[in-house]
Chains A and B, each alone.
Chain A
Amino acid sequence: MSEKKKDELLHDHNHDGIDRRGFLKCMAWAGTGAFCVMKGGVLNSYSLSRLSEISTADMMGELSFVQISDSHMGFNKPANPDVAGTLKAAVDKINALSAAPEFMLHTGDISHLSKPEEFDTVDQILKGAKPKDVFYVPGEHDVLNDDGKQFLERYGKGSKGAGWYSFDKKGTHFMGLVNVMNLKAGGLGTLGHEQLEWMEDDVKHLKHSTPIVVFAHIPLWSVYPEWGWGTEDSAQALAYLKKFGSVTVLNGHIHQTMQKVEGNVTFHTAASTAFPQPQPGKADSPGPMKVPAEQLKAVLGITDVNYVQGQHALAVVDSSLA
């Protein structure tokens, strides 16, 4: 496959097996349909349209999962009058992946108004997805009116505080964080002292080679503070993860895909399955962005993540619902 040879790693300046330029180039393609995999220290990229030509072994690592976000069940304004339909389309997309992901992460704003029937509808729709395990973290729309009690009852078993927790899958350590509680006027997302202490303790005894995946609703980097798109105490959280060779941060909240690589940390935000939002500063406010109906599915999406044991970075691929 000549296309494969063209995109092979050529510049390994940091001797960590990652060609930053190549990786960033690959990440920029991800939004339009590129699939990047680290295998044997080599970063390969494949156009999504040619995925069927690639062997499952080449494509898959030892661990694969899907991130969905911002389903906003209950939203019914012009930007998308059928969020249940687009969530179902996202499930169809997940079920069409050639190798079924093992589980799903939902990075919050499951519901639009924290109503029981909204949560019920999402649960019902996700039951149709092949991956049966779903791990949730709340968005600010999930903790209205009751300080998150309902969210904890439904999705918070085994979690601490407002619903943070960690688990391991095939040697990768996952940490679900809550940064939508106790928001202060004029402020950003916040993790809080108790959660940060838990984080420090949780990773204390892990080997530095353990890949880490952190997932939380509001971005853990300053995407656009003017619109509240950031977390005020995330620097402390990231400091606890500095020793690890591979950290992937998955967020939602901004309803568009965005990537950033900073040292050993790859930040990624997911598209919504409900409605898009404008790019930072490109509108008066971060509200639902109306697009022509026939273009809606192209701006909604899911994120497929693969990990190959022994490699540095997780392969993160966004695909739209179109």
Chain B
Amino acid sequence: MRRSVFIAGLAAALVLGMGLFGTGRKGSVTSAQEKSSTMEVKIDNFSFGPVELTVPVGTMVTWINRDDIPHTVVSTDDSKTFKSKVLDTDEKFSFTFSKAGTYPYFCSIHPKMTGKVIVQ
């Protein structure tokens, strides 16, 4: 009895472990829907990539400027939720989204550059 419980427990642990391991593997940057704790938005060629990002509550989003021109990340919602300083090439800005909602933002230097973070 104990042995089968033990084996069942071990099997369960293995499955769980594999499940977790699998998620970890998939969690590299391509999918915007992954349940990881940090997500990245790349700024390049006067645009945010991805333009629209959906993340779970509690995710920290990091914008990194790969362009050869400075940019900013400024939210345009009523409460002006986040506002980065000026980011030169390779500089980063991070914000953790603790509340669900839709957060449109733009670059205040080049206002045609817009993006959105949807927090679910």
Contact = CB atoms under 8 A, between A and B. Distances in A.
Q: Do they bind each other?
A: yes
Interface of A: 77-79, 112-114, 140-141, 144-145, 183-188, 226-228, 284-288
B114 interface: yes
B69 A288 contact: yes
Interface stretch (B11-19, B34-42, B102-110): B102-110
Query: Which of A112, A185, A186, A187 has the most chain B CB within a 10 Å cutoff?
Result: A185
Interface string B83-120: 00110110000000000000011101111101000000
Main secondary structure of the interface of B (DSSP, over half): loop
A287 B65 CA distance: 13
Contacts of A186: 106, 111-112, 114
12 contacts: A79-B68, A113-B86, A144-B72, A145-B86, A185-B106, A185-B114, A186-B112, A188-B111, A188-B112, A284-B45, A285-B47, A287-B67
Contacts of A183: 108-109, 111
A65 B111 CA distance: 32
Interface residues of B, number: 22
Given A77-B68, A185-B76, A285-B45, A144 B112 contact: no
Nearest to A141: B109
Cβ-closest 4 pairs across A and B? A185-B106, A285-B46, A183-B111, A228-B112
Given A77-B89, A145-B86, A185-B106, A287 B114 contact: no
Contacts of B27: none
A187 B89 CA distance: 24
A288 B89 CA distance: 13
B70 interface: yes
Contact of B85 (A140, A145, A187, A285): A145
A119 B76 CA distance: 30
A135 to B, nearest CB: 23
Nearest to A226: B112
Contacts of A141: 70, 109
A169 to B, nearest CB: 32
A322 to B, nearest CB: 23
Given A112-B70, A113-B88, 17 more contacts: A77-B68, A78-B68, A114-B86, A141-B109, A144-B86, A183-B108, A183-B109, A183-B111, A184-B111, A185-B105, A185-B106, A187-B111, A188-B111, A284-B45, A284-B46, A286-B46, A288-B68
Contacts of B104: 185
A183 B106 CA distance: 10
Contact of B70 (A113, A285, A286): A113
A226 B69 CA distance: 18
Contacts of A77: 68, 89
Contacts of A226: 112
Determine which residue in A187, A188, A227, A285 has the highest number of CB atoms from chain B within 10 A of its CB, and name it: A285
A114 B72 CA distance: 13
Contacts of B114: 185-186
Central interface residue in A141, A183, A288, by most chain B CB within 10 Å:
A183
A243 B59 CA distance: 58
B86 A287 contact: no
Nearest to A186: B114
A138 B111 CA distance: 16
A196 B105 CA distance: 28
Contacts of B68: 77-79, 287-288
A114 B86 CA distance: 10
Contacts of A228: 110-112
A51 B110 CA distance: 40
A85 B69 CA distance: 20
Contact of B109 (A79, A144, A285, A288): A144
Contacts of A286: 46
Contact of B46 (A78, A145, A287): A287
Nearest to A180: B109
Contacts of B105: 185
A77 B118 CA distance: 34
